[in-house]
Amino acid sequence: MNNHQKDAQPQSTKHNSPPLEDRCVQVLAPATVANLVCGFDVLGMCLHEPNDLMEIRLLEEKKIIIISADGYPLPLDPAQNTAGAPLVEMLNELPGNTGFEVTIHKKIKPGSGIGSSAASAAGAVVGANHLLGDFFSKQDLVRFAMFGEKVASGVKHADNIAPCIYGGITLIRSIYPLDIVPISSPKLFVTIVHPQIEVRTSDARQILRKEVLLKDAIRQWGNIAGLVAGFMQNDLDLIGRSLEDVIIEPVRSILIPGFDEVKLKCKEAGALGGGISGSGPSIFMLSKDEPTAIKVESVMKEIYNRIGLAYHTYVTTINQTGVTIINN
């Protein structure tokens, strides 16, 4: 039985510790793109690059230790750490005196809009669960990891967490109860530009309108349905037409210098479409092939070089695996 089908609760409450040689694991926790333009809080996509590197060690004491390997100023109080808070919830459902030490090599910059907090949360629970012999299901891991997102933004959402754990593109049909639907997709290339400014998810949520016009909601629903159908039917034209947001993007884009020009000129260069990655400031664009994705990257670089704003770019693909165990 695979993790998608595994019961939410184990058949036995007895937990056997793994052998001593298996008490530490390294994981690669990937970046993600949330919302996918029109799917605010319900759609997400996993990327091959960049990744956080994390080491999780099993302890014989009911505690959690957080270590920042590269000196990045991460909160060391587990309850205030995006990797620690999910593990606190996990320990509450584990019998015995089990704990974890988590060492984080932070490569996905917080506030970048490509799922930094989700990578920490998902990497911690996937690595911990591996050490426990896959004690919990994937859906349980998403449920735990959402507590890391609550630390980061004040809201438990799964549009970064779910693709980070499941891989690929995911639809979060519901949070209560949690209902995650993996979405098939064609092979697409993803170009990301991360202007070197920080947009905090909590701040980006504060500026959103609390009410929307019915006509805007109807248009948005059509785009979400069209995007999901486009992915599942390998219809690139439909994907491109559906990458439109009439509710969130018009508000959040004012926080990102050069956004409108980047989006316009990248589409002129051949991109299918794209928009704000998560809450920003990163911008993502989807392309049908690698030469187009590289051309899109050149357009992004030219615009930010001219603006005079430092940036990082990535040309990558959709990661169908999610968090990866790289050693035992």
Q: Catalytic amino acids?
A: 149, 201
The secondary structure of the chain in percent helix, strand, coil, rounded to multiples of 5, reads 35, 25, 40
Phi, psi of 172 (to 5 degrees): -95, 90
Which residue matches tokens 């050693």? 327
| Exposure b/e, 147-158, CB count within 10 A at least 16 = b | bbbbbbbeebbb
Cα–Cα distance list, 86 to 78, 123, 127, 234 (Å): 9, 10, 12, 35
Q: Is 59 exposed, middle or buried (0-12, 13-18, 19+ CB in 10 A)?
A: middle
Backbone angles phi, psi at 110, to 5 degrees: -55, 145
Give the E-state strand segments of 35-130 in sequence order. 43-59, 64-68, 99-105
SS3 label, residue 243: coil
Q: Say which residues have a Cβ less than 8 Å from residue 166's Cβ, sequence separation at least 6.
A: 46, 138, 142, 180, 182, 322
Give the residue among 165, 173, 119, 120 at the shortest CA–CA distance from 142: 165
